[in-house]
Structures are given as C-alpha cells and as structure tokens.
Amino acid sequence: MVSEESTCKKKKEKKAWISKSHNVSLEEVNNSVSVPKNAGFLKKLLAFMGPGSLVAVGYVDPGNWATSIAGGARFGYALLSVILISNLIAMLLQTLSAKLGIATGKDLAQATRAAVGKKVALFLWVLTELAIIATDIAEVIGSAIALNLLFGIPLLAGVAITTLDVLLLLLLQKKGFRIIESIVIVLMITIFAIFIFEVAVSHPSVSAILEGYLPHTEIATNPQMLFIALGILGATVMPHNLYLHSSLVQTRKYERTKAGKKEAVKFAKIDSTFSLTVAFAINSLILILGSSAFFGKGLDVSEIEGAYRLLGPTLGTGLASTLFAVALLASGQNSTITGTLSGQIVMEGFIHLRMKPWLRRMITRLLAVIPVFIVTLIAGEKGTGSLLLWSQVILSLQLPFAVVPLVLFTSDKKKMGEFANTFSVKMLAWLATLVIVALNIFLLCYIILTGQDLG
C-alpha cells in the first residue's frame, strides 16, 4: 500500500510542470560540483572555474558585434579605451554578484524579493523577463544571420531553426552541469582563436593599438564617436548576468562556513576576472579587426552582414569571412545556454515559481522568435536591425533595477557580515553604478527622441 502511494506521488511529481520553488537557487545543480578539500591551489581553482565563463558569454553576444566593428571602422583604435573601462566596471560588478551569492546563500533575485516584498518583486520579475527576452531576441537574430551567411538559409528559416536549440540544451543538462560549462568554454576558445587569426591576417599597428587603450579627448568632443562609445559602455553589463552569477557560484560544493565561504569568494573572483579578461580580449579583437580591415577605406560596415561580405575581399582570403560567421554562430549558441539558466533563476527567485527547464526554455525562445519572425516577414533585414536596437533599449531600461540592489545588498553588513564591501569598494561600486545608469538613460532618451541607432 505504501509503495503504491509512493509510486503515485512520484508520477504526479513527474507530470507537474509548475510548482512552488524551494529556497535554494537552481536547486537541481546547487552544491553539486565537487571541490577537493585537501587539494592544492591549482586543483581547487580548476574546481571553482566555470561560472565565470558562462557569465563572460554575455559580454561577447551577437548584440555587441556590429557596434564594435562599426566603431573600429569609423574611428580606428580610439575606442579601445572605452572597452577597457567597460570591462573594469564589469569585473567589479560581477565580483560583487558572486560574493552576494556565496556570502548570503541567495541569488540576486531571491535577495531582492526578500527585501522588497511580493508585489514589488512581481513588477521586477516582469521587467527582468522582458530583459531576458530582449537578450534572446539578439541571440535569435545573430544565429539566424550566421546561418544565412554560412549556408544561405533564409532569415525566416534560420529564425525557425533556432527553436531547436531547446533540444540541445536539454541533452546537455542531462549530462551534468560541468558538461554545460565545458561546452561554453570550448565555444569561447573557438571565438577567441578565430579573432586572433582574423586580426593577425589584417596586420594591425601594434603601437596604434597600445595608444588606443589610452582615453582620447576626442571621444567626448566628437558626437558620433561619443555615441558609439556610449553604446559600447552602456551595453557592457547585462542585467541577467548579475542574477546568473550570484546563482552559479552556489553550484560548487564548498563548506558553508566562514572559512569555506572566504575561500569560495577568493576563487570565484579569480574565475570571474580571468573569464572577463578573455571577454575583454575578444571585444578588443573585434574592434581591432574593424579598424585594421576597414578604417579609412570608406566602406559601410555598420551591420554584421556588411562586415562579413567585405572581410574576404579586404583581407585577401575568403576564409576570413567564413570564420567570422562561424564565430557569430558560436556566440549565439553560447548565449542561448545562459539565457535559459537566467530565466529559471529570476522566476524562482522573484515569484517562487519553478518550471520544467524544457518548458521554461520553450516559452522564452518562442516569445523571442515570434516578434523576430513577424518583423522579418514584414520588413526583412532592415526590420531585424531595428528590432535588435529596441531589444537593447529594453535592456537599458532594466539595468538599474539589477545594479542598484546589488550594490546596496553587498554594502549591507547585516546581510553580508564580514564580506560586506569596504569603503573603497563601495565608492567604486556606486561610481560605476552612476556611470552605467546615466549612460543607459542617455542612450534611451537619445534613441527615443531621434530614432537613431548606434550607427
């Protein structure tokens, strides 16, 4: 009798698609990745490495490519300094996100829900979902463009094909969380290697590159340069990455003691800094490629498709264009994985609702695919470009609602204890927050008032 009741209960649990969430972030993988207790520094570091790579994906997603290439093509290496400053801010905020998750045992969504209550949390959840959908739109468009460039698949068909990555993600999740991290790392290495090759073939000026990392006064005085600079800086910190990182660090099986948390914070900081340094290198390489291949040649490379078509003739090898499209496809697939995890985290954290991963992914992807499909059908490539623009606007709107609570929580000694931000870190964090929020507001207002994009 007892066994029959137990069997019925298990069947009901399997059939249930939606249920109330527990207090643990990403329950199915929380505290699941083993960390050797009596191992050396390197072995422990390798055990903690991984979450930073998933976060770094958001810094090289398809939504950033056109802006970086256009910046290099129009203004040479001058905007490399903006990429450097942007990544320094990102490193600071992502470190705070990881520290919040480890010190409190809550992700950013859970901590926000606990601080603001149910009604405000529901509002913030809606905003965050819109940001995740907006991010997914950029990934859909980027992947569809890559499929079009590589295989000649029409944009509409490419958009439809992107829905199939749900099956890929489900397969990866069944293999374990470390498998997902490994796939992401391999794709990141692929993107990095491709752009190393592209830049090497384009023969850039090393001295000009080094000079580009120094801030130029022209960035502030030239309106067009300033606007692209603001586009690079304003799109650096993606809101979903802050929620994501605060949860992923909890997948490690470290001791939930002060000493264990202190060690986890140390290794998470190394992991995050290293991964974001790789993302910084990739973003730099994209802009350097745009500069060395197109600057001063009067070529229109304001869109990804334009860069693809001109790379081969400009660099003297058709392989350059092909590899560029391969990197774009890898970037889109990488971002797809992290988008699903972010959606699960904010849903469980803000409204305490759990959903089967495949259903969660299907809903998010369909909400992204439908508008892309309709716009592509009606307006073609030009329409997808405009949709990509407005997806960035939605991200800008949501960003302050993630950054401000993060800095507030990590500066609160009652919540963080000995892990609370020091005075200097607190000042730097608020300064970075002010810069990010101000630039996003500026971008939003400019786009709404003028109807212009980053080009």
CATH architecture of 40-142+163-356+391-450: Up-down Bundle (1.20)
Top pLDDT among 303 and 184 is at 184
pLDDT tens per residue across span 223-263 = 778 777 877 776 667 788 899 999 999 999 999 999 999 99
Run of H or E residues at 449? helix 423-450
Contacts (Cβ under 8 Å, ≥6 apart) of 451: none
**Which residue, 30, 334, 327, is CA-closest to 169?**
334
| Inter-CA distances, 220 with 25, 215, 255, 446, Å | 43, 10, 49, 16
Is the pLDDT at 17 greater than 50? The verdict is no
pLDDT given at position 18? 43
How much is the average pLDDT of 137-159? 84
Cβ count near 393 (within 10 Å): 15
pLDDT given at position 16? 42
What CA–CA distance (Å, rounded) separates 29 from 437? 33
Q: At what angle do helices 357-398 and 423-450 cross, to 10 degrees?
A: 80
* CB of 349 closer than 8 Å to CB of 331: no
> What is the pLDDT confidence band of residue 371, given thresholds at 50, 70 and 90?
confident
What is the DSSP secondary-structure string of 214-239? S--THHHH-HHHHHHHHHHHHTTS-H
| Inter-CA distances, 286 with 64, 280, 283, 332, Å | 10, 10, 5, 16
Most confident range, picked from 272-276, 349-353, 362-366: 272-276
**Which residue, 136, 168, 161, 133, is CA-closest to 146?**
161
pLDDT given at position 361? 66
pLDDT given at position 149? 87
pLDDT given at position 193? 92
- DSSP 3-state of 451: coil
Mean pLDDT value across the chain: 82
CA 310-315-316 angle, 5° bins: 100
Domain ranges of the chain: 40-142+163-356+391-450
Q: For residue 115, which amino acid is it?
A: A
> What is the pLDDT confidence band of residue 276, given thresholds at 50, 70 and 90?
very high
Is the pLDDT at 403 greater than 90? The verdict is yes
What is the DSSP secondary-structure string of 286-346? HHHHHHHHHTTTT---SSHHHHHHHHHHHHT-HHHHHHHHHHHHHHHHHHHHHHHHHHHHH
Is the pLDDT at 5 greater than 60? The verdict is no
pLDDT tens per residue across span 74-129 = 899 999 999 999 899 999 999 999 999 999 999 999 999 999 989 999 999 988 88
| Inter-CA distances, 165 with 160, 332, 336, 340, 369, Å | 10, 10, 8, 11, 12
pLDDT given at position 13? 44
What CA–CA distance (Å, rounded) separates 112 from 298? 49
Contacts (Cβ under 8 Å, ≥6 apart) of 306: 299, 300
**Which residue, 231, 196, 165, 168, is CA-closest to 452?**
231
pLDDT given at position 392? 61
Q: Give percent of the chain with pLDDT exceeding 70.
A: 81
* CB of 94 closer than 8 Å to CB of 102: no
pLDDT tens per residue across span 436-453 = 778 777 766 766 776 655
Is the pLDDT at 299 greater than 80? The verdict is no
How much is the average pLDDT of 188-203? 91
What CA–CA distance (Å, rounded) separates 304 from 308? 6
User: Token digits for 87?
Assistant: 């990544």
Is the pLDDT at 336 greater than 90? The verdict is no
What CA–CA distance (Å, rounded) separates 45 from 29? 19
pLDDT given at position 263? 96
- DSSP 3-state of 407: helix
Cβ count near 138 (within 10 Å): 27
Contacts (Cβ under 8 Å, ≥6 apart) of 437: 399, 400, 403, 404
Q: What is the dihedral of CA 65, 339, 240, 177, to 10 degrees?
A: -120
